[in-house]
Structure 1
Amino acid sequence: MPCQLSLPIGPILILDDIRDGHAHLAALFIAPKGQNISPVEIEGRSVPTEALAEFETATAHRCRFSVPIDRASEYVWDGHSYPLSLDLLGNLRLAYVSCNGEEVGDLDREGSERNAMWARLREEHCRQPFAFLLHGGDQVYADEVTRDHDLSEHWPERVPSNPSADALADLRLHLRERFLERYAALYASPEFAWLAARVPSLMQWDDHDICDGWGSLPETQTESAVGQTLFSVARECFLIFQHAALDGDLPLRFADPSGIHLGWSVKGSDLSIIAPDLRSERTRHRIMGQGGWAMMDAEAAGPAQGHTFLMSSVPLLGPRLSLLEALMIAVPQMQKYEDDLRDQWQSRAHRTEWRRILRLVQDMALRDGHDLTAISGEIHLATRAVMELGQGLQLQQLVASGIAHRAPPTAWARTLGALSWLGEAPLPGHPIRIERLPGQSSRYVAERNYLLLERHSGAWSARWDLEQSGMTAPLALSQ
């Protein structure tokens, strides 16, 4: 069935860029087709909305405006005032989330259970507000969008070899409506919607924003006509609903205006956030293509001060997963999980590329007057890791996953914890260790969670909010 909307959804705030002393924002709305959206009122000005994209029964609208970054501000829409905490010059709070859903039956889950950690995050914002909300991937679980169409019903196990142009056009229409349905359902949930209207989001995609394992599936699937149609629609909807943008109209924070890859970065007062795209150019044999590496090389060569947060949708530092990968290939019953491990930087298929990114990050982190922290999601567990950089410095990685995805069995967390004892050193002389969160006895915590990043008097720290265990003590990030 097409998505049925009775009321406008939004505003959903997106951070377009930071420049010229202002935060440039986009407010996204989803409304039934033909329904007008009121303008946004900001500092006595009325800024009209514009139609961004049309669907069968709904229209996505956008309004772009800016606010200064040296003080708190507010905007008004439809008679309601929305405060913004975008003073970036002093103490600062960010929140990081990932894995907002599940592979099967996500839209059928009871709302208060599904969004329990979103409610906690909302309460935390009320206690002390966030400037930005960072989303590290799998903002939407699109795995079921392929159902109920002849071409994609059995994706990816069975792929039609030569579908007609008319059949592919019909598939495109079907997929667009299914993506709309999922984004609308997520953005209408009251716990998320309240936050998203008051805290601008910065989003990075991962495989479930397309389909499970995109890029690590065999190329006979991803390069097929059905696979390319799925990717094209997923990408279009990713831009519309996660960036309030279209091809040819990308915000300036994107490194490639053509959008061949969708990596981006923003820079504020003594703060940089870098989010390479680990999906658009991915194949079974690489994680990033020429465009992604050009972006990262430019970031490494450019000036930096203060603190950089590098968003890697799959963890940059981790245990020796190549042993599990070899076991899964050898045991037929486990081969269905092989794509999950091939998704990781630590996969045997990506070992050379993993060393390249680690050397690049090491060079960035060793610059004088500059700290760098990697943040990741994807694994549905909370953990952290460190890599020795030399000169008495460390690269820290923080993993927070997931905000809505229920935690895997504790036995899986123990298995990864046991594997971490073997150690890993892809760069000789720079060992990686999996460390415990403050106050936790295990290296991997099987609880839903999100991450807080806080700057006080110029020094950054991190805390995890764990569903059962509660808030951890602060972990110092500045060195």
Structure 2
Amino acid sequence: MTEDIAQTIGPILVLDDLPAGRMALAALFIAPKGAEPGPIRVDGTDHAPEPLARYDRATVWRVRFSLPLDRASSYTWNGVDFPVASNMTGDLRLGYVSCNGEEIGDMDRADSERNVMWARLQAQHEAAPLGLLLHGGDQVYADEVTRGHPLTDDWPEDFAQHPTPAQVADLRHHLRERFLGRYARLYRAPQFAYLAARVPSLMQWDDHDICDGWGSLRRSATESTVGETLFSEAREAFLTFQQATTDGALSTRFADPKGQHLDWTVRVPGLRIIAPDLRGERTRRRVMGPGGWAAMEAETRRTEPGHTFLMSSVPLLGPRLSILETIMVLIPSMQKYEDDLRDQWQSRTHREEWRRMLRMVREMALQEGHEITALSGEIHLATRAEMTLGPHSTLDQLVASGVAHRAPPKAWARFLGALARLGESPIRVKPLPGQRPLYTAERNYLLLERAAGTWSARWDLENGGMTPPLAL
């Protein structure tokens, strides 16, 4: 299935970085082939678009400009003025979302059903503007892009083992066009488009931005010619549509200019947001590669008074999964879910890496005048957890997932809650404020609010509404 692109989609604001008192922005447009979106005007100066990527049906354009960080501002495009809450020096509101889609049939869902929570987040922004929108992974569910091509129609269970160069080139074209269609479908939705034009986004990828279970699939699939082609096209699409850039031209917030891993950090006085790349260097036996760990080590050594939000696309704190993994290995009908468990930090396969990350978090948290909170998505449930790091230091984890993915059965949430209560652990999974179960099975998003220098969090639940604030 392809997405018709009859009108220009955008602007979609992406935060490039926060350099020297400015908010450096990129505005993304998807325009029909042959059309150009026109300039963006800021304070009487026009900023011209430049082509970023060309497709059969469309061209992706980018406009770069900046706004001040010490006051609210605006820009104008196509005769419309777009206000931006660019003041990051005082009270501040951030939004956090994840899991913006579903594995099967996502492009066929009606906007009115699919984007209910986006509409609610839009209303929140209209009531009190958001300064940034953090996307914690699975911004696009690309699982079906492999369908319709003979090399990948049954991916990952079956795929061509020895494709010819011509077949690979044809697959590359097929995937590239279908990634365009996925992103165009998401970005033209009115509820998302309204926010994206007014709130700069910061995005971190997860498996569905590539394909279900990427990195936890068997090596014979991911390291095949077909698997490498799929990853390459997904990565290009991630850079184009989620980062508004191209390979070799990453913005200054990325730790590695060469893009071997896609860790990024933004910082302003009193606030740091770290997003390690948990997919770019991932294999079945590791979560992060040498480059990613080096970037995290550098952030750990940096002295940063204030508050750090660590975006971990899969939850950093949760129940130990070794018991569940053992059960699944023993039951043939359950073995198909092994990849889902291997995706998690708590998998027995990743135990040493998990401990390494927790040691880094503890080191950051124990710095004088510093607080740290982990933000996660991925599990299609809302929950939170705490871990004691020292006599006067606690790591809070907030999980908000998903903004569009429909919730799993409440029985699954109850099962995870029971698993979290087993055994002794310094990690305590806790219910959301005002809720009784440890895991809430409703679509949701998260609001992070700083008032008078103090941060708090609230979840908006599809049926339960807004939770009371949780002090961080």
TM-score range (shorter-chain normalised) is over 0.9
Distance 2:210 2:458 in 1: 30
User: 1:78-477 counterparts in 2 under 5 A?
Assistant: 78-423=78-423, 425=425, 431-477=426-472
Aligned residues: 472
How far residue 240 of structure 1 moved from its aligned partner, in angstroms, is: 0.2
Amino acid of the structure 2 residue aligned with 1:201:
S
**TM-score, with normalisation over the residues of structure 2?**
0.99
Distance 2:2 2:129 in 1: 37
Amino acid of the structure 1 residue aligned with 2:245:
A
Distance 1:318 1:172 in 2: 38
Amino acid of the structure 2 residue aligned with 1:337:
Y
C-alpha contact (below 8 Å) 1:107/1:182 kept by paired residues = yes
How far residue 24 of structure 1 moved from its aligned partner, in angstroms, is: 0.2
SS of alignment partner, residue 419 of structure 2:
helix
How far residue 33 of structure 1 moved from its aligned partner, in angstroms, is: 1.0
C-alpha contact (below 8 Å) 1:424/1:433 kept by paired residues = no
Distance 1:49 1:161 in 2: 42
SS of alignment partner, residue 19 of structure 1:
coil
Offset from partner CA, 1:355-380 (integer Å, 9 cap, x none): 00000100101111000000000000
How far residue 2 of structure 1 moved from its aligned partner, in angstroms, is: 4.8
Structure 2 match to 1:37:
37
C-alpha contact (below 8 Å) 2:303/2:367 kept by paired residues = no
Distance 1:252 1:388 in 2: 34
Distance 1:161 1:29 in 2: 37
Distance 1:328 1:69 in 2: 51
How far residue 303 of structure 1 moved from its aligned partner, in angstroms, is: 1.7
Amino acid of the structure 1 residue aligned with 2:464:
S
C-alpha contact (below 8 Å) 1:142/1:210 kept by paired residues = yes
SS of alignment partner, residue 18 of structure 2:
strand
Summarize the Cα distance change of 1:464–1:416 in structure 2 as closer, same or farther, 3 Å threshold.
same
How far residue 440 of structure 1 moved from its aligned partner, in angstroms, is: 0.3
SS of alignment partner, residue 260 of structure 1:
coil
C-alpha contact (below 8 Å) 2:3/2:185 kept by paired residues = no
Amino acid of the structure 2 residue aligned with 1:432:
I
Amino acid of the structure 2 residue aligned with 1:265:
T
C-alpha RMSD of the superposition: 0.7
Distance 2:127 2:304 in 1: 32
Structure 1 match to 2:7:
7
C-alpha contact (below 8 Å) 2:274/2:310 kept by paired residues = yes
Summarize the Cα distance change of 1:424–1:74 in structure 2 as closer, same or farther, 3 Å threshold.
farther
C-alpha contact (below 8 Å) 1:16/1:251 kept by paired residues = yes
C-alpha contact (below 8 Å) 2:400/2:459 kept by paired residues = yes
Offset from partner CA, 1:52-84 (integer Å, 9 cap, x none): 000111100000000010000000000000000
How far residue 343 of structure 1 moved from its aligned partner, in angstroms, is: 0.2
Distance 1:381 1:405 in 2: 10
Distance 2:86 2:256 in 1: 26
Distance 2:141 2:91 in 1: 34
Distance 1:327 1:391 in 2: 37
Amino acid of the structure 1 residue aligned with 2:30:
I
How far residue 85 of structure 1 moved from its aligned partner, in angstroms, is: 0.3
Amino acid of the structure 2 residue aligned with 1:218:
R
Distance 1:445 1:37 in 2: 42
C-alpha contact (below 8 Å) 2:95/2:445 kept by paired residues = yes
C-alpha contact (below 8 Å) 2:153/2:159 kept by paired residues = no
SS of alignment partner, residue 104 of structure 1:
coil
C-alpha contact (below 8 Å) 2:309/2:375 kept by paired residues = yes
Offset from partner CA, 1:378-431 (integer Å, 9 cap, x none): 000000000011122210000000000000000000000001111464xxxxx0
C-alpha contact (below 8 Å) 1:453/1:460 kept by paired residues = yes
**TM-score, with normalisation over the residues of structure 1?**
0.98
C-alpha contact (below 8 Å) 1:380/1:401 kept by paired residues = yes
C-alpha contact (below 8 Å) 1:320/1:423 kept by paired residues = no
Distance 1:422 1:358 in 2: 21
Amino acid of the structure 1 residue aligned with 2:273:
I
Distance 2:301 2:251 in 1: 22
Gaps of 5+ in 2: none
Offset from partner CA, 1:430-449 (integer Å, 9 cap, x none): x0000111000100000000
How far residue 269 of structure 1 moved from its aligned partner, in angstroms, is: 2.6
Offset from partner CA, 1:277-312 (integer Å, 9 cap, x none): 000000000000000000000000012011000000
How far residue 3 of structure 1 moved from its aligned partner, in angstroms, is: 3.8
C-alpha contact (below 8 Å) 1:141/1:208 kept by paired residues = yes
Amino acid of the structure 1 residue aligned with 2:275:
A
Distance 1:52 1:416 in 2: 44
Q: Which moved more, 1:322-331 or 1:338-347?
A: 322-331
SS of alignment partner, residue 31 of structure 1:
strand
C-alpha contact (below 8 Å) 2:142/2:182 kept by paired residues = yes
SS of alignment partner, residue 351 of structure 1:
helix
C-alpha contact (below 8 Å) 1:140/1:183 kept by paired residues = yes
Sequence identity (%) = 65
Amino acid of the structure 1 residue aligned with 2:428:
R
Offset from partner CA, 1:199-258 (integer Å, 9 cap, x none): 000000000000000000000000000000000000000000000000111110000000
